[in-house]
Chains A and B, each alone.
Chain A
Amino acid sequence: MIRRTALLLVAACLTSAPSASAQTEAEARAALRAGDYDQAMRDLQRLVRADPASVTARRSLVEALMVRGRYDDAEAAAREAPDPTAMATTLGRVLVRRGRLEEAEAAFRLAAEGGAEDRLTAEVDLAELLFRRGRIDEAMGRFDRFIDVYNDAGGALPARDLVAVGRAVHRLSRTDPDLIQDALKAFDEAATADPGWAEPPLLTGELFLEAYESPEAQAEFQKVLAVNPHDPRALLGMARALDFDGTPGAPERIRAALEVNDDDPDAHVLLARLSVSREDFARGEEEAERALEVDPASLEAMSMLAAARFLADDTAGFLEARRRALRLNPRYAGLDATVAELAVQVRRYGDAVDRGATAVALDSASWRAWGLLGMNQLRMGRIEEGRADLERAFAGDPYNPWFKNSLDLLDTFSRFKTVETEHFQLFLHGTEADLLAPYVSRVAEEAWDSLYAHYGIEPKQPVRVELYPSHADFSVRTLGETGLGALGVSFGSVLVLDSPAARQRGEYNWASTLWHELAHAFHLAMSDNRVPRWFSEGLAVHEQRKAREGWGHQASIPFLQALRDGKLKKFSELNDGFMRPEYPEQVGFSYFEASLVFQLIEQQHGFGAIRTMLDGYREGQTTEKLFESVLGTTSERFDDEFDDYMRARFASPLRGLARVGETPPADAGPDALAAYVRAHPGDLVARMLLGALLVRAERYDEAQPHLTEALKMFPEYGGPDSPYYYLAKIHEAHGDLERAAAALARLNALSESNYDALLEEAAVQDSLGNTAASAHALEKAVEVFPYDLDLHRRLAVLDGNLGDRLGAVRERSAVVALDPPDRAEALYHLAVAQMDAGSREDARRTVLRALEIAPAYEDALELLLALRRSGTGAP
């Protein structure tokens, strides 16, 4: 509702004065509205020639010419009107589009002050122009007048004027967010008044998109496209909505808009954004320049130009673009905000903070900029500053779900505990901090030492590691919204991960993920955040595998099938595998594929080449240049070389995956599968399926040859259905525990999160008296699921037997941290372990806690006496 008085809903029809031939002009306008622009242009040109004084026909002609990008003709048609005042608004719009803002301002003033029929449109166009020029207070004063316009009209405004009101009120929402609702209402009324006019749903869609309501925005754009499938604004609106959602389809919509007008500056600006997001800064710059050719005053194009140059480290070019924008609008925060936003996409969070701070200094009501500043301060571990700036952003833009989600999450931070280690600050939920801290700190420090040895540099310290027991919270911390598919994220010296509590047991290895994210911290530090996505992801997976053979993405049957079928990205397009995957699995495949790049590089050139490349990125070099200078090849040649490498490396399983027939499904039964295998003995999947089926039916002797054959074809396969798993079962059934242990050990070496197999290995090794191997398997199991009381108890005993007293203390501490029902007993055992480890004082404190719960606990009482005796000689 517009403030001050209540609204009355009255439909008003937009009518035009009949001119040369109402029937013909109506047809021409219908063609225009249906997107038959060329036909409309021909008809309207004829009408205007026949009746030069027809304002409506001329306006429509100018509109058609503008849509098709015939700007010179559009301007000429507007200027040739016998009544300049009547066409002044239309002329002004052409001039705005062409970047001639002073002339446009004069035209709007002429229409507004000259009493043109469309003077309200001229008024709001003028106000928007002033706003664009940084004359914000003047503009806001003009927008404010529209409230009286609406309220005084008593519901009798035509659609055109309702749209003007809506646009003005929309601008006023900058300082009064509730007015967004009024803007929507005005557009809605305009749509009712003139149902065939595209402008109201287009403005509504754009407003929804601004308010982050993508589905609603798309619905509005679809309404327009249903009538006119060529409407460029609707097509671009859809493209922006799809890009916002991360859904494919944006480039196609942009291309469709460019088919209508190849010079459409808005389309080129959007292409620039997409290019910069994909780290194609050169293309981004080209597209921005293209937009500026048509509209040299386009602040949006200047922003994209600035962003492309900034991220390409063209400082002079960035400053030039920025100066250009500020000359036009000295208070324009949008450029720095855009640079901040795109800097985030390429992981330059420090730059995002700097640009955000600059933006809010220019315009303290740029809520977008406050939000970018706050979110990125949080990503850099500047929690209190980030919170304060986000609060400010949210006060100005309460519709922003990222701000709200992030602030809600920050409210829960009081439930977390901080644990400091040599290089890290662990931020763990209070319910599991005591349990996880010893394990996380051990893995973190081990990873630090290993990565420091590889790279010779240290990221900024302390590195903050946050683990969230709720995946939704992890997602909000990372993106500001739920739904992130990742397990961990690195913002440089802030790492954010799912806690093992956030995941199903058996699907996640927190230690492996921590190592991966810490590797990113080193890569980002070494390259000053300029390393491309594919490089850092691939190298992080490579680091995981160097740490533990089975960590990180591994070769899988689906990956090999994609390789076989040519569905993997070529090396030179690997970034798109992460940023614009063609199918969901392509992201995961790209991780593994990228890691193989580093296996190949290290094999051929040594790890030093990788370090040199990271240095090169820091110096601003491109991948192409680095491949030439460091590896002596081009990315095009490397495409072929890498493809050959993968096919050679996986030649054996690829042979087993050659399409020789239709593999029967798993539920086909063993006889059907066996018949198929007899006909196609080299079919890897069939062998595996048959082997598994026969093991489940306890037909072990029949199963074993198939599994053995499958392993010969694919010996590095460690998936949950790996032949190693089933062979272990066979060996156990035959009582051959040595071979069972060996099979399980191999399986667990090749996989990172097969919890059940780890427990099984521990049990088998224990039966064989292999205490160290059993303990090792349980330690690995803790990296998957640390919440099993019995596991920790068992491991404590094994550690004790191995003489690992500190290990025993760690495990007994874990039992206590898991808060078992018999807490007194858990504390007692911990006290015993502490005493054995020589920590007399710790043991004393712990046994007191046990006795506090159970004073009659005889064993604990005796332990207390023993501790006192060993300390002071007293009983």
Chain B
Amino acid sequence: MIRARTHRTGSAGAACLMAGTAMLAFLGAPRFAAAQETHVLVVVGLGGTDAYRQSFAGYATELRTALTERDGIPTDHVTVLAERVDLAPEVVQDRSTKENVVRAMGEIAARAAPADRVLIVLIGHGTAQGDEGQFNLPGPDLSADELAAALAAFPTQMVAVVLTGSSGGGFVAPLSGPNRIVISATRTARERNATEFPRYFVDAIAGDGADMDKDGLTSLLEAFVYARAEVARHYEEENELLVEHAVLDDNGDGEGSPDASATAVDGRLAAGFRLGRTAVAAQATDDPALAKLYEERREILGRIDGLRASRDAMTEERYDEALEALLVELALKNREIKAREGGGS
């Protein structure tokens, strides 16, 4: 039996994740939150059966709810196209024909600012023509090349495309590029079985389980790592062979990595593409005292990052001593912030 374990980074992996989290904390600087907006296109393809149609519609609904209500993305920034509008009329704006998909992308391109972010999530079945992927839509399918051509409308924005279905691996190379994040549920176009990935990806975005660094935000890297691990666990619990192997590419080399992290070949951009809002991330305040406290907290987090980066140069005892001191300082600062915010301590 193939032991499809939950994602086991082991101690070396944990070190990578910690280092990656150091990067995350640093990237959590206020710059992005003020001006940058996020635009989302969710495309639900052909279900094939009622069961798939229902579940795909459910994922899309859950995703939209999470993005708008939890992550604070304006509803007019989230477009959902599906095989049938009647399956979720409160959520689906139009049918997910190729024409409508391309048009929706054009509309987003027209309104998006140069530094905005775009998230495109494809929920449905894929097929393959040789090594090239096709996404099944009502009417003509959408090929990887066609999607890549449509993405040319976003020359400056950071674009993330998440292919949650079968054969998504056939899209990685064609979509790969600078400032692009491509997440695929499958390593190649030849992994043709229906996937478990969308369920866990949506869980990651909608819940807290993927927020591994507990900053109240879920990055696409965190969502990818979480979904990949949960997929593996699902197959193991079902005593089945693992037939889908998710990958992430964000360094533009056209090769997806299964073990992406903030310090690996792939994962840095995805680590910075974060969704959600928390007291840590929310930077906007009119209270100068509170703003000062936020700044002080960021400064402490920065010192923690610095300490973590120099871990190897210290004995374990000294390191833990120094870390604890900073964490205590951070904890006390949090209490001050909570008290100031009116949340108590």
| Chain A residues within 8 Å of B, Cβ to Cβ | 431, 469, 501, 503-506, 787-789, 818-825, 844-845, 848, 851-858, 860-862, 864-865, 868, 875
Contact = CB atoms under 8 A, between A and B. Distances in A.
Contact of B7 (A819, A858, A861, A868): A819
- Residue with the greatest number of chain B CB neighbours at <10 A, chosen from A821, A823, A852: A821
Interface stretch (B51-59, B70-78, B209-217): B209-217
Interface string B117-161: 000000000000000000000000000000000000000000000
Contacts of B14: 819, 823, 853
Interface stretch (B37-45, B108-116, B229-237): B229-237
For A501, A818, A823, A844, the residue with the greatest tally of chain B CB atoms inside 10 Å of its CB is A823
28 contacts: A501-B3, A504-B239, A818-B6, A819-B7, A819-B9, A819-B14, A820-B229, A821-B6, A821-B7, A821-B225, A821-B230, A823-B212, A824-B212, A825-B212, A825-B214, A852-B18, A853-B17, A853-B213, A855-B25, A855-B301, A855-B304, A856-B25, A856-B301, A856-B330, A862-B331, A864-B324, A865-B332, A875-B332
Contacts of B229: 820-821
A848 B320 contact: yes
A864 B331 CA distance: 8
Contacts of A858: 214, 334
In this complex, which of B13, B301, B323 has the most chain A Cβ atoms within 10 angstroms of its Cβ?
B323
Contact of A821 (B210, B236, B237): B210
B199 interface: no
Contact of B6 (A789, A844, A856): A789
B85 to A, nearest CB: 35
Contact of B330 (A469, A821, A861): A861
Contacts of B209: 821-822
B308 interface: yes
Interface string B203-243: 00000011111111000000001100110010011010000
B330 A855 contact: yes
Interface string B1-15: 101011111100110
B233 A854 contact: no
Contacts of A431: 8, 10
Interface size range of chain B in the complex: 35 or more
B21 interface: yes
> Which of A469, A822, A848 is packed against the most chain B CB atoms within 10 Å?
A822
Contacts of B104: none
Nearest to B10: A819
B332 A821 contact: no
Contacts of B27: none
Given A823-B212, A861-B334, A504 B1 contact: yes
B328 interface: yes
Nearest to B1: A504
A332 to B, nearest CB: 49
Contacts of A845: 320
A853 B21 CA distance: 7
A642 to B, nearest CB: 39
Nearest to A858: B334
B62 to A, nearest CB: 19
A856 B215 contact: yes
Interface string B75-103: 00000000000000000000000000000
Most chain B CB neighbours (cut-off 10 Å) among A824, A845, A855: A855
Given A431-B8, A823-B14, A853-B17, 6 more contacts: A819-B7, A848-B324, A851-B323, A852-B18, A861-B331, A862-B331
B280 interface: yes
A81 B335 CA distance: 115
B327 interface: yes
Nearest to B228: A821
A864 B18 contact: no
Contacts, number: 108
Contact of A819 (B8, B237, B331): B8
Contacts of A856: 25, 213-216, 280, 301, 330
Nearest to A852: B18
Nearest to A874: B328
B328 A875 contact: yes
B213 A824 contact: yes
User: What are the nearest 9 A-B pairs in CB distance?
Assistant: A857-B214, A861-B331, A854-B214, A821-B229, A819-B8, A854-B213, A856-B215, A821-B226, A855-B304
Contact of B212 (A501, A851, A854, A875): A854
Contacts of A504: 1, 239
Given A821-B6, A821-B226, A856-B280, A865 B308 contact: no
Contacts of B239: 504-506
Contacts of A848: 320, 323-324, 327
Contacts of A825: 212, 214
Interface string B263-295: 000000000000000001000000000000000
A624 to B, nearest CB: 46
A788 B14 CA distance: 20
Residue among A824, A852, A860, A861 with max Cβ neighbours from chain B (10 Å):
A852
B209 to A, nearest CB: 6
Nearest to B320: A848
A501 B236 CA distance: 11
A787 B236 contact: yes
Contacts of A505: 239
Contacts of B3: 469, 501, 787
A431 B331 CA distance: 34
A824 B9 CA distance: 13
Contacts of B230: 821
A854 B328 CA distance: 14
Nearest to A469: B3
Contacts of A469: 3
Contacts of A820: 6, 229
A852 B323 contact: yes
Contacts of B320: 845, 848
Contacts of A819: 5-10, 13-14
A367 B124 CA distance: 63
A858 B334 CA distance: 8
B313 to A, nearest CB: 16
Contacts of B1: 503-504
A864 B332 contact: no
A825 B210 CA distance: 10
Contacts of A501: 3
A276 to B, nearest CB: 39
A861 B17 contact: no
Nearest to A820: B6
A322 B89 CA distance: 94
B271 to A, nearest CB: 14
A865 B7 CA distance: 31
Contacts of B301: 855-856
B216 A865 contact: no
B149 to A, nearest CB: 35
A824 B214 contact: yes
B33 to A, nearest CB: 15
Nearest to B297: A856
Contacts of B10: 431, 819
Contact of A865 (B212, B233, B331): B331
A444 B8 CA distance: 27
A503 B301 CA distance: 45
A431 B21 CA distance: 24
Nearest to A505: B239
Interface in B177-217: 209-216
B233 A789 contact: yes
A810 B106 CA distance: 55
A851 B21 CA distance: 11
Nearest to B8: A819
A548 to B, nearest CB: 24
Contacts of B7: 819, 821
B249 to A, nearest CB: 20
Contacts of B280: 856
A101 B229 CA distance: 74
A844 B317 CA distance: 13
